[in-house]
Structure 1
Amino acid sequence: MKNIIAVLALSVLLFACSSKKDGNMIVQGQIKGLKKGKLYLQKMNDTVLISVDSVALNGSDTFKLTDNVDSPVLYYLTFDGNTTDKRILFFGEQGTITINDKVDQFGFSPEISGSKNQEILDKFNQISKRFREERLDFIKKDFDAKKANDEDLIKKLEEDYKKLVRRRVLYTTNFALTNSDFEVAPYIALTEMYDASLQMLDTVNNSLPTKIKVSEYGKRLQEYLDNIKKEGNK
């Protein structure tokens, strides 16, 4: 009888393990050099980062993780090795997404394919990086000018910096408008258009088709704008 119970328990356990279904998003790839550890697929739930899937790697550096994606959002790929402070951030969506990286440079410059939203975000980040570098250059020049008490240069740098901010706002707005058919558009509006006017934000929001408006970031953008307008009417 004990043997029968043991067999039945084992059968149930095996069935439970084998019945795990793939989600509509598969994240697969290779982390070169990661021979032992546990990879986690995570995303934000309200303000809390939660794990939706995980896989233990023992002797193999390839992985496969899954989740059901209702609306494309940002995901995190992390692991419990020596670099727990590092992570790979990517736009998750339905389909198969491939991520390849190296354990010693984890999260620095991963190769990500299979996500159209991520592809668009990568293009935006390339230009955005140039703006950040220009801003850092301005900060250094401003520091040196103030140290030298050069009032003329300080005034010129202030004017040039305002022009840089305007260029960045215009570029970001136009980029979001150009890619309004993708969920990355409201995401960029929420995270990168902090210097933009309400009118510009409204322009981006009004350009979004219905399928994007009802997405996770589409709804957040609408809520954000509603709150701004509500506060402005007080």
Structure 2
Amino acid sequence: MIYFYKIFAKLKTSFVKNIILFVLTISIVACSNNKADLTVIGNVKGLKKGTIYLKKIQDTAMVTLDSVLISGTPEFVLETNLEEPEVLYLVLDKNDTDEGRIRFFANKGITEINTTLKNFAFDANIVGSREQTLLQEHNDMALKYNNKKLDIIKENFDALKDNDSIKAMETNLQQESLLKSKYLYTINFALNHKTSRVSPY
């Protein structure tokens, strides 16, 4: 640093000094702009060896934004830059054919994802952006509708097996009612959060 200062002091023209100051300023700004504005931290319980990727879908293809090699410790830190809130994927490669994938809504700041090796996607606990909270709310309700649908299908199957036409008709009506309720929920959710990036999803 002292060496460069001496060289700078020897420059006699203010024009050259201004040029150098301008270049240094641009370099500092460029370095600042390259700093990651999204950090994804977390833990995969039970993971001893593998690679965790941070990816996004771009032009129908999966693009890797960052990756970390896991060897011994299950904690990870991934970073990238975001232009706007968007859906990203945490992908686990365990060096076998079973690839795990967690979808989440990312925004600038810190997102924490904790899960397990055994049930990588299902056990995921995600704490992060406001968009992720809304997406999780929608996903939880969608899961409830799906579970209710499976229950009704089972009841309908049992009714048909027992030749109970009245019960079978009731379950058919329940399925229609459930489908209408699901559509109404989806529409209301989109209207209530129409300014959110989550709405199209």
The one-letter code sitting in structure 1 at the alignment partner of 2:139 is N
The one-letter code sitting in structure 1 at the alignment partner of 2:147 is E
Structure 1 CA distance, aligned partners of 2:173 and 2:44? 46
More strand by percentage: 2
Q: TM-score, normalised by structure 1?
A: 0.65
- Answer yes or no: is 1:35 the counterpart of 2:75: no
- Answer yes or no: is 1:158 the counterpart of 2:172: yes
Q: TM-score, normalised by structure 2?
A: 0.75
In structure 2, relative to structure 1, the CA distance for the partners of 1:84 and 1:53 (3 Å cut) is: farther
Unaligned stretches of 5+ residues in structure 2: 1-30
Q: What does residue 214 of structure 1 align with?
A: none
In structure 2, relative to structure 1, the CA distance for the partners of 1:22 and 1:39 (3 Å cut) is: farther
- SS of structure 1 residue aligned to 2:54: strand
Deviations, residues 14-69 of structure 1 (Å, cap 9, x unaligned) = xxxxx8x5432211122233232211111111222222211112233221112222
Structure 2 CA distance, aligned partners of 1:145 and 1:89? 38
Moved over 3 A (4+): none
Unaligned stretches of 5+ residues in structure 1: 1-18, 188-234
- Contact map agreement 2:88 2:106 (CA 8 A) in 1: yes
In structure 2, relative to structure 1, the CA distance for the partners of 1:145 and 1:120 (3 Å cut) is: same
- Answer yes or no: is 1:124 the counterpart of 2:142: no
- Answer yes or no: is 1:114 the counterpart of 2:128: yes
- Contact map agreement 1:27 1:98 (CA 8 A) in 2: yes
Deviations, residues 142-168 of structure 1 (Å, cap 9, x unaligned) = 222222333322222222211111111
2:63 to 47, 50, 64: 50
Greater Rg by CA? 2
- Contact map agreement 1:83 1:106 (CA 8 A) in 2: no
Superposition RMSD in Å: 2.0
Higher relative contact order (CA 8 A, sep 6+): 2
The size of the alignment, in residue pairs, is 168
How far apart are 1:83 and its partner, in Å?
Answer: 7.5
